[in-house]
Homo-oligomer: A and B are copies of this chain.
Amino acid sequence: MEFASKQEEQDYYQHVASEQEFLEWYKKQEHPIYQNPSVTVDMVLLCYNKSTDQIKVLLIQRRGNPYRNSWALPGGFITASESTGDSVIRETKEETGVTISAKNIEQLHTFSTPGRDPRGWVITVSYLAFIGEAILSAGDNANQARWFTLERKDNQLYLTSGEIEIILDLQTQKSLGKDDLAFDHNQIIIKAFNRIANKMAHEPQVLQVLGETFTITEARKVFAKFLGVDYRSIDHSNFKKSLLDFLEEVGERPAGVGRPSKLYRLKEDFREN
């Protein structure tokens, strides 16, 4: 086929040729792909330590520029053969050693404010996931991955690990302390936290941080952490009533002081997102 101009050729394939012809032609063309953004994924991965009663979020320390030595969410660049969900699972595994199932991730938000990455045009798709404390050890220290405790006081979030303390304001989404997260990861964490707090009463997937089975009181403690209150201020009886629709009894926990507590797990329907 002969064309008087490139424009005419394009017109032909776009508007006259069949879709199959168009695609064969399209794949042979040079594409102005230099205009495309880099796309990353980021994972807000939460767990809970029953013995210390602490919510934890997994962060990695960046080993290279930009934001070298800053703490950041695990994540990285996507590849063409994966969905963003697959990418974030792969990147989390690579950077932290933690394996997450595709069923247990939830897409949060896509961040694209110009200038959010000093390297240039980069947008990120953020995800949220919960894992039980059994996998807590998977944070690979050699690889700079560390669990930060996540504590809510009033309307501030405190992320702490050793000497490092990052303070985020839930309203303004600003960082208040001496330490800071890389990129706009403070916004992502706040988005995740608010999402969980707002919907946990109706969609209690957050209880996955308790592992396969848990007691009512453990669930109360997790809820209390996200509400920023003492767990005893949540009435045991009423709490149980409100959550029972989502739970099924699976036995008793024999050990410990006091009356043995019953063990529950999330019903199948609510274990996935």
Interface residues of chain A, those whose CB is within 8 Å of chain B, are: 13-15, 17, 19, 22-23, 26-27, 33-39, 63-68, 77-85, 107, 109-110, 112-114, 118-121, 123, 125
Judging by beta carbons under 8 Å apart, are B35 and A37 in contact? no
A19 is contacted by which of B67, B81, B112 (Cβ under 8 Å)? B67
Chain B neighbourhood of A39, CB < 8 A: 36-37, 39, 123
A23 to B34, CA, bound (A): 19
Judging by beta carbons under 8 Å apart, are A68 and B33 in contact? no
Chain B neighbourhood of A26, CB < 8 A: 65, 119
A107 is contacted by which of B19, B22, B80, B109 (Cβ under 8 Å)? B109
Judging by beta carbons under 8 Å apart, are A22 and B110 in contact? no
Judging by beta carbons under 8 Å apart, are B37 and A82 in contact? no
Chain B proximity of A223: nearest CB distance (Å): 19
Chain B proximity of A124: nearest CB distance (Å): 10
List, sorted by A's number, 15 A–B pairs whose CB atoms are closer than 8 Å.
A14-B64, A15-B64, A17-B65, A19-B66, A22-B66, A23-B118, A26-B65, A35-B79, A36-B38, A39-B123, A78-B112, A80-B121, A84-B112, A84-B123, A112-B125
Beyond contacts A26-B65, A80-B121, A82-B114: 6 other A-B pairs, Cβ-Cβ < 8 A, are A33-B34, A33-B36, A35-B77, A39-B123, A78-B112, A107-B109
Q: What are the 3 tightest A-B residue pairs by CB atom distance, in nearest-first order? A: A14-B64, A22-B65, A36-B36
A67 to B20, CA, bound (A): 10
Chain B proximity of A187: nearest CB distance (Å): 13
A217 to B257, CA, bound (A): 58
A114 is contacted by which of B33, B68, B83, B109 (Cβ under 8 Å)? B83
Chain B neighbourhood of A64, CB < 8 A: 14-15
Chain B neighbourhood of A65, CB < 8 A: 13-15, 17, 19, 22-23, 26
Chain B proximity of A113: nearest CB distance (Å): 5
Judging by beta carbons under 8 Å apart, are B80 and A118 in contact? no
A123 to B22, CA, bound (A): 20
A82 to B113, CA, bound (A): 7
Chain B proximity of A38: nearest CB distance (Å): 5
Chain B proximity of A37: nearest CB distance (Å): 6
Given contacts A14-B68, A19-B66, A65-B19, are A37 and B78 in contact (CB under 8 A)?
yes
A82 to B34, CA, bound (A): 16
Chain B neighbourhood of A119, CB < 8 A: 23, 26
A153 to B259, CA, bound (A): 52
Chain B proximity of A77: nearest CB distance (Å): 8
